[in-house]
Structures are given as structure tokens and as C-alpha cells.
Amino acid sequence: MAEGSGGAARRKKPVQRLQSANHSPEEAEPERDRGEAEFRCHRLQESLLSSASGFSNYRGVLNWCVIMLVLGNARLFLENIIKYGILVDPIQVVSLFLKDPYSWPSLILILGSNIFILGSLHLERRLASGAFPERVGLVLYAVLLPAILCIPVLVVFTVLSITPVGSVVALMVYTILFLKLFSYKDVNRWSRERRRAQVRALSRTQSAPVMRKVAGDVGKQEVMYPGNLTHRDIYYFILAPTLCYEMNFPRSPRIRKRFLLRRLLEMLFIMQLLVGLIQQWMVPAIQNSMKPFRDMDYSRIVERLLKLAVPNHLIWLIFFYWFFHSSMNFVAELMRFGDREFYRDWWNSETVTYFWQNWNIPVHKWCIRHFYKPMMRRGVPRWAAQTAVFCASAFFHEYLVSIPLKMFRLWAFMGMMSQLPLAWFVGRFLRGNYGNAAVWISLMIGQPIAVLMYVHDYYILNYGIGA
């Protein structure tokens, strides 16, 4: 028995040692896993720069691009100053607006636009009261709206003291006024049609007092047609940062003074920056591009074009921020205008169509509401309606360039119309990052081409071949 007990004791000792070393079977598994991990160091995975990896954090690469962009442009800017000296002259900007210091044709032309504003208001009042039938209103608007675009043209070509820059500002004001009054006309016409439909429907079941309530309920806080036909209402719309009219715009609760001050300081600083960049960087680059154009030296033309692309694109981006963010937010805050969607993420555009739909939201909304959808309701094919929208945009681009320069070359018109085949090509053959790169390249290269073509033709027309 002693041997049996001793043998049993000997048999139990290894078990005790095993338990003392591992305590439990579950705790033995991590040791075994760690041992296998030491032998295995590979797994199925993609490289980070591969699209299949799903990796998207390129913040360091973006910082590197920004630093390289700053350093590269700093070198170009320093080279420009060494070569040309300081060309920035704020006083010279005044001469772009005034040839004769006692003549203000652009300002007088802008002030004269009030005639069209008041004319549209009083015409709508006559239509609302029934003094004018709808056909008469259409005829009068057929005269009023084209006159908004034609009268500035006559002034530009007859008044010699008006400058090209002053003409551009005046024509921009009249173009915006044309689009706004077109929207004002449509919305009031829709309101009259809806009011007549409501009156006809209610006249079958309601009495006359209810009909008067439909015509205009003064007890409600919201404005109803024709209560909107006031000077205060139309001038609020004319000054508001939108092209589409509504009787009750969304309003912000208050004016944020700090926000307003930040936007004002941005406007002032960026305006000075734009003037300095144009004078110091753009003007010399354009002047140096004239000789290759005259000599038809194609290699030098391409070199000048690429050299002009950088400052031109940088100025365009800064102008976008100044106009669509700083200036329009400043006006919206001052007027407590609630809708601040002036642009969307156009920089992520993977198609040309997406860019034009998102970089200028006020114009896009106007085109959809007053141009594209009415054509679609009349049965116009989708492709024809889209082409018509591009044609209208091309017309206004050419209008704002050719008229101030007093020459017709159609470079802006053809540049806009070329967006149609480009949109088809990018949408059909390019996707994702390739499509986005194609959009950026079209912006960087297309604009300098148009600038050089217009400046070249302007120099030849006004200063001769040897200029």
C-alpha cells in the first residue's frame, strides 16, 4: 500500500507542476496564440495608395501640397518683384473707372436702373388690380426686359468717357436686374393664376367675404399676393443676395455684428489683395504674351499660357471666396436673409455638369426655376433644355466681355459651349479622381486661353499690330 500510495503521489506530481505553470486550460491559449503570432507576420491586405485599400486619410499629403504651393508661388512672386519692381498702384485703379474725373457714366447708368425697377412694380400693380389684361402685361414685359439689356449697350457705345471696367460693373448690375425682374414677373404671374383658381373654387361653396379674405388676409403675418407689391418688398428683393423672388424669404432672427465685421474685413483685405496680384502678376504676364501671339510662336504661346494659368487660377479662386462667401454673406447678414447656400462643394466635382450645378447656386436656381423646368413642362427634350441653358449662360458671358471691350470675338461664348462636349466626354469616360482632375484642368487652362485671346484682339484693335 505504501508503494501504491507512493506511486500515486509520484503520478500526481507532474499534474501539480502543470497546474502551477498554467493554472487553467483557458490561460494556455494566449500563450499558444502569441507563439503563432511570432511566426506569422503577413496577412491579406492592399497597399495604402491602392484604391482597394479603403484608406482616405491623406492629410499629410495635403499639407505637403500646400507647402509646395506656397513655396513655389513665393519664388515666382519674388522673381516677379526682382524683374519688374513694385507695380502695385492703388491710385491707378481709379483710372479704370474714370477717364474724366467729372464724368461718372457707369454710376449714372446704375442709378438709372431704378426706372426699370419702378416700372416693373407699377406694371404688376396694374395687373393685380385688373387694369391691364395678361396679354398687355406680356407685351409690356417683352419691351421692358430686353430694354434692360439693350440700353446699357447703347450707352457703352455712345458715351466715350465710359471705361471698360466701369462698363463691366454696370453691365453686371443690369444683367442681375434682368434676371431678378424676370423672376419677379413669373412669381407674380403664378400668384395671380393661383388666386384666380382659388377664387373660382371657393366661389362655388363660399360667400363673398371669404373671397375677399383669399385676395389678401391682412391678419396673417406672412405676406400674400397682392400685398407684396410695395416699394419696400421689391427693393428688398433687388438688394438681397438671390435671383429668385419669393413673397416671404427666410429671415435670420438678428444681425450678428461680429460675423458682419469679419466679412467686412475680409472684403476689404481680399479686394486689396486681388488688385495687387492683378497689377503685379497678371498684367506683366499678359503683356509678355503678346509677342508670341503676334509671331505665332506656338511653343512660346504654350509656355506663356502655362505661366499665366497659375496667377489667373489663383486670382479666380480668391475672387470666388471674396464674392460668394465674404460679400454675399455680408449682404445677407445685413439684410437678415436666411438662405446662405451660395455655393456647394464644387471642388469635389467629378463631372463638368456637377461643377456648373454647384459653384454658383443663385444662378443655378434661377436657371432651373425659370428656364429649365418651364421648357420641360412644355415637352422640350431633356438634352435640348440643357443645351438651351448652356446657350443662355454663354450669351451672358459674351455679353459681359464683348460689350465693355467694344468688340465681338465670341471666345467666351465658344468657351461656354465647349463645356457641352467636355461634359459628355468626362461623364462617359472618366470617373472619380480622374473626372475631378479633368474638371480642375479645364478650369486652369480654359480661362487663361480666353483671357489671352481677348487681350490679344483688344491690343490689335486699339493699338495696332506693333503694340
Active site residues: 397
E strand or H helix that includes residue 204:
none
Q: Count Cβ atoms within 10 A of the Cβ of residue 171 and give its class: 0-12 exposed, 13-18 middle, 19 or more buried.
A: buried
Sequence-distant (≥ 6) Cβ neighbours of residue 163 within 8 angstroms: 95, 96, 97, 98, 99, 106
For the record, the C-alpha cell of 62 comes out as 495635403
Angle between helices 114-129 and 231-239 (to 10 degrees): 130
Q: Are 290 and 103 in contact (CB under 8 A)?
A: no
CA separation for the pair 341, 242 (Å, rounded)? 10
Whether the CB-CB separation of 75 and 145 falls below 8 Å is answered with no
Exposed / middle / buried, residue 79 (Cβ in 10 Å: 0-12, 13-18, 19+) = exposed
Q: Give the whole-angstrom CA distance, residue 51 versus residue 268.
A: 43
Rounded to whole angstroms, how far apart are CA atoms 359 and 108?
A: 32
What the block records as the C-alpha cell of 330 is 455680408
Closest among 285, 306, 189, 194 to 245, alpha carbons compared: 189
DSSP string, 394-416: HHHHHHHHHHHHT----HHHHHH
Contacts of 360 (CB under 8 A, 6+ apart): 324, 343
Query: CA–CA separation, 324 vs 320, rounded Å?
Result: 6
Question: What are the DSSP E strand ranges found in 50-124?
Answer: none
> Between 134-158 and 164-203, two packed helices, what is the crossing angle to 10 degrees?
180
Q: Does a cis peptide bond (omega within 30 degrees of 0) precede residue 226?
A: yes
Among 325, 357, 349, 364, residue whose Cα is nearest residue 443:
349
Cell of 182: 424676370
